[in-house]
Amino acid sequence: MDSRIYGLENEFGLIFSAREKSSIPLERILGYLFEGIISNSWSSNAFLPNGARFYQDTGCHPEYATPECDNINDLVIYDKAGERILEASLILAERRMMEDGIIGDIFIYKNNTDSAGNTYGCHENYLVARHIDFWRFSERLIPFFVTRQIYSGAGKVQRESGKTFFSISQRSQHINQKISCSTTSSRSIINTRDEPHADAEKYRRLHIIVGDANMSEFTTYLKVGTTALILQMIEDGYPVRGLDLDDPVRAIKEISRDLSMKKTVKLENGKSLTAVEIQRIYMELVQNYLANRDKDDIAEDIMDKWEFVLNKLEETPMELSEYIDWVTKYDLINSYRSKKGCDWDDPRISMMDLQYHDIKRDRGLYYLLEREGLVDKVVEDEEVKHAMEYPPQNTRAKLRGDFIRIANMKNRSYSVDWTYLKLDGYGEETVLCMDPFASYDRRIEKMLLHLTYSR
Amino acid sequence: MGQQEREKKKSKDRTEKQAEANPEVVEKGKKIKEDIDELLDKIDDVLEENAEEFVKNYVQKGGE
C-alpha cells in the first residue's frame, strides 16, 4: 500500500456520578483528568510523549488525537493507546478527587451520542495529494461513506416518538449535508477542513467526520483500511462511475435503520442497490486496481477481511459478532433480552448501549467480551502499552515524542505543535517540521543531544 | 516480526479459521453460548442500580 499519513481523533463522552447529591462542574472533572495526563503543568492542550495530542474540545469533551501514523496497524495501536491513557488518568483523577473530598465515579465513553440527542465525533484524517480535484474526488467517495456504516457502525439503541429500536450507526442520524465546512452545526458526509499540517502545495487533508467511534480493533482496522485503498485508487485516477446516490443524506439514515441489509437506496441513474451491493462494487473496483500492481500483503489482508465481512453481511450478519461493533452490541443485547425477558425500551438496555463504550476495562461491556475472548483482536496489548509512552517510529511523531520525553525529563519548558518544536532557552530557533513522513531531522538531533547532556 | 509478515500471518490464520471443519465450529459455538450465558449474569454487576436515571443524566454538549 502506498505510504500515507493517517490520524484519528476521538471526542469522548464524560460524566461524573457523585455519591452525594452535590453537583460538580464537568470543567473541574476535566481539570483532574488533565492533571493525570500532563504531569508538569496544567494545560488544556498538550502533546504527549507518544506524539499524540490531548485537549479539551468544544463542549467539554476530552479529546485525543493520535500521532501521525504511516500505516493502519499503528493507527489501531495508537487509537487504543488513547483509551488506555484516559483510563489511567481516570483512576488517578478519582484518587485525587477523593483526597479533595469529592467522592464518586467518573465515566468516559468512546461513543458519539448522549441521551438528549447531542453528538460528538470520531474524525478520520487522511493526507491526500494536493493535485486531486477535490469536488470530483468527494463525489466519488460519498456513496462509499454512506454505505460503509454497515461494517463500521457502532450500533445504537435509539428512541424516537415513543418507539425504541436498534440502528447500525451512532452518527448517521446527525448527518445533514453532503459536503460542508462546518463540524458543529450542519454535519456532513465530507468535511472540507483542509489543514494538512504539511507542505500545502503537495498535500491536502481529507477530514472525515461521518464515522462512528469504534471499540473493536477489527472494525477500526477495516474502516480505515478500506477507506485508504479507495483513496489510493481514486488518487491514481481510477474512476468510480454510476454510483451517485439520488439523496445521500436520506440514504445514510435509511441504511442505518435497516438491520436486514436488504433494503435498497435509489441512485441518480434510476437504479436501486443495497448498501452491501454498493460496497461490493467498490471492493471489486479496488480488486481490479490492485491486480495491476505489485503484490502487497497489507492490501491483500484488508481485501480478505472486506470480502469476508460483505459476504457475511449479505447472508448471516449475526455471525460477525466477533468482528463488527454494531453486530457485537446487537447480539449481546439480544442475548441479554432473551435471558432476562426484557424489552428494547427497558432502561437496562439503554444502559448496556452506553456501557458498551465505557473505556474502563473492569466496567465496559466491550472489554467484558474481550476478556472472555469473544471479540477479535488485531493488535497486541503489549504494543498498545508501549504506544502509551513512545511515538510511532516512522513519522514526524517520533521527533515530537522524543523531544517531549527528554524535555520533560530535564524539566525544561517548550512549545510544540504538529509542525514545530521550540525549546525555551535554546537560541531563538523554532524548528519547523513540515514533512510528516520525516522521522529524522538533523537540527532536532542536535537539540536533543544538547538537552540530554545538559544539566 | 515485521508488519508485512505479521499481516501475512494474520491473513493466513483467518483463512484457516474459515476453513475449519463443521463439528469444530459447532463445538466452538456451544462454548461461546455458555460463555455468553455466564457473561450476561456479570452484566448486571456493571450496570448502575438505577439505570434509568443514569442514562437520563448522561447529557453532553454537542462536540467538534
| pLDDT tens column, A197-211 | 999 999 999 999 999
For range A353-358, the mean pLDDT: 96
Mean pLDDT rounded to a whole number for chain A: 94
For residue A410, the one-letter residue type is K
For residue A30, being part of any structural domain is answered with no
Confidence of residue B29 (pLDDT cuts 50, 70, 90): low
Assess whether pLDDT exceeds 90 at residue B61: no
- Helix or strand or coil: residue A297? helix
Q: What pLDDT is recorded for position A427?
A: 81
For residue A249, being part of any structural domain is answered with yes
Q: Give the C-alpha separation, A277 to A332, whole Å.
A: 27
- Render the burial of A360-382: b for 16+ CB within 10 Å, e for the rest: beebbbbbbbbeeebbbebbeee
Q: What pLDDT is recorded for position A36?
A: 76
State how far Cα B15 lies from the chain centre.
20
Say yes or no: A198 and A266 in one domain.
Answer: yes
For range A406-413, the mean pLDDT: 90
Tens digits of residue pLDDT in A361-372: 999 999 999 998
Of A21-25, A210-214, A263-267, the poorest mean pLDDT is in: A21-25
Cβ-nearest to A297 among B8, B35, B52:
B8
Place of cell 485537549: A55
Q: What pLDDT is recorded for position B19?
A: 44
For range A76-97, the mean pLDDT: 96
Q: Which of A356, A383, A413 is the last residue of a domain?
A: A356
Say yes or no: A294 and A183 in one domain.
Answer: yes
Contacts of B54 in chain A (CB under 8 A): 17, 351, 354
Q: Give the C-alpha separation, B33 to A331, whole Å.
A: 11
Angstroms from B61 CA to nearest CA on chain A: 5
ipTM over 0.95: no
Q: Which domain holds residue A413?
A: 396-452
For chain B, say whether A247 makes contact (Cβ under 8 Å). Answer: no
Q: What pLDDT is recorded for position A434?
A: 97
Q: What pLDDT is recorded for position A161?
A: 87
For residue A431, being part of any structural domain is answered with yes
Assess whether pLDDT exceeds 50 at residue B15: no
Assess whether pLDDT exceeds 50 at residue B2: no
Say yes or no: A347 and A232 in one domain.
Answer: yes
Q: What pLDDT is recorded for position B28?
A: 64
**Cell numbers that stand for A179 in this block:** 459536503
For range A82-99, the mean pLDDT: 95
For range A248-266, the mean pLDDT: 97
Say yes or no: A335 and A222 in one domain.
Answer: yes
Say yes or no: A177 and A231 in one domain.
Answer: yes
Q: Given an 8 Å threshold on Cβ–Cβ distance, is A119 in contact with B59?
A: no
For residue A20, being part of any structural domain is answered with no
Say yes or no: A275 and A420 in one domain.
Answer: no
Tens digits of residue pLDDT in A118-151: 999 999 999 999 999 999 999 999 999 999 999 9
Q: What pLDDT is recorded for position B33?
A: 66
Residue length of chain A: 455
Confidence of residue A286 (pLDDT cuts 50, 70, 90): very high
Assess whether pLDDT exceeds 70 at residue A41: no
For range A27-45, the mean pLDDT: 75
Alpha helices in A236-274 (DSSP H): 248-256
Tens digits of residue pLDDT in A56-71: 877 789 999 999 999 9
Q: What pLDDT is recorded for position A21?
A: 66
Q: Return the closest-CA partner of residue A273 out of A135, A155, A187, A150.
A: A150
Helical (H) or strand (E) element with A165: strand A163-167
Q: What pLDDT is recorded for position A70?
A: 97
Residue A35 burial (C-beta neighbours within 10 Å; 0-12, 13-18, 19+):
middle
Chain A residues 314-333 within an 8 A CB cutoff of chain B: 332
Of A50-54, A282-286, B16-20, B24-28, the poorest mean pLDDT is in: B16-20
Beta bridge partners of A10: A64, A122
**Cell numbers that stand for A248 in this block:** 445521500
Say yes or no: A316 and A406 in one domain.
Answer: no
| DSSP per-residue string spanning A363-385 | T-HHHHHHHTT-S--SS-HHHHH
For residue A233, being part of any structural domain is answered with yes
- Could you tell me which residue, A278 or B52, shows the higher pLDDT? A278
**Which contacts of A177-184 are long-range, i.e. CB under 8 A and separated by 24 or more positions?**
A177/A249, A178/A138, A178/A142, A178/A248, A178/A249, A179/A135, A179/A138, A183/A121, A183/A123, A183/A209, A183/B64, A184/A58, A184/B62, A184/B63, A184/B64
Residue A116 half-sphere exposure, CB side, CA atoms within 13 Å? 12
Q: Return the closest-CA partner of residue A224 out of A12, A401, A1, A54.
A: A1
Q: What pLDDT is recorded for position B7?
A: 47
**CA geometry: angle A296, A302, A304, nearest 5 deg:** 95
Say yes or no: A400 and A352 in one domain.
Answer: no
Assess whether pLDDT exceeds 50 at residue B17: no
Interchain CB contacts (distance < 8 Å): A and B: 129
Q: Given an 8 Å threshold on Cβ–Cβ distance, is B60 in contact with A335?
A: no
For range A248-253, the mean pLDDT: 97
For residue A264, being part of any structural domain is answered with yes
Say yes or no: A352 and A436 in one domain.
Answer: no
Q: Given an 8 Å threshold on Cβ–Cβ distance, is A369 in contact with B39?
A: yes
Residue length of chain B: 64
Cβ-nearest to B55 among A298, A332, A351:
A351
Q: What pLDDT is recorded for position B40?
A: 83
Q: What pLDDT is recorded for position A45?
A: 64
Contacts of A119 in chain B (CB under 8 A): 62-63
Of A13-22, A337-346, A437-446, the poorest mean pLDDT is in: A13-22
**Angle in degrees, 0-180, between the axes of helices A325-340 and B22-46, rounded to the nearest 10:** 70
CA distances from A348 to A86, A355, B44, B51, B57 (A): 26, 10, 9, 6, 14
Q: Give the C-alpha separation, A426 to A414, whole Å.
A: 10
Say yes or no: A294 and A420 in one domain.
Answer: no
For range A15-29, the mean pLDDT: 85
For residue A51, being part of any structural domain is answered with no
pLDDT above 70 covers what percent of chain A? 98
Confidence of residue A334 (pLDDT cuts 50, 70, 90): very high
For range B29-49, the mean pLDDT: 75
Say yes or no: A224 and A310 in one domain.
Answer: yes
Q: Which of A356, A382, A417 is the last residue of a domain?
A: A356
List A57, A70, A331, A441, catalytic entry: A57
Cα Rg of chain B, angstroms:
21
Q: Which of A341, A356, A371 is the last residue of a domain?
A: A356
For residue A160, being part of any structural domain is answered with yes
Q: Could you count the other beta carbons within 10 Å of the beta carbon of residue A288? A: 11
Say yes or no: A313 and A402 in one domain.
Answer: no
Contact status, residue A148 vs residue A255, Cβ threshold 8 Å: no
Task: Please give the tally of structural domains in chain A.
Answer: 2
Beta bridge partners of A123: A9
Q: Given an 8 Å threshold on Cβ–Cβ distance, is B3 in contact with A14?
A: no
Assess whether pLDDT exceeds 70 at residue B11: no
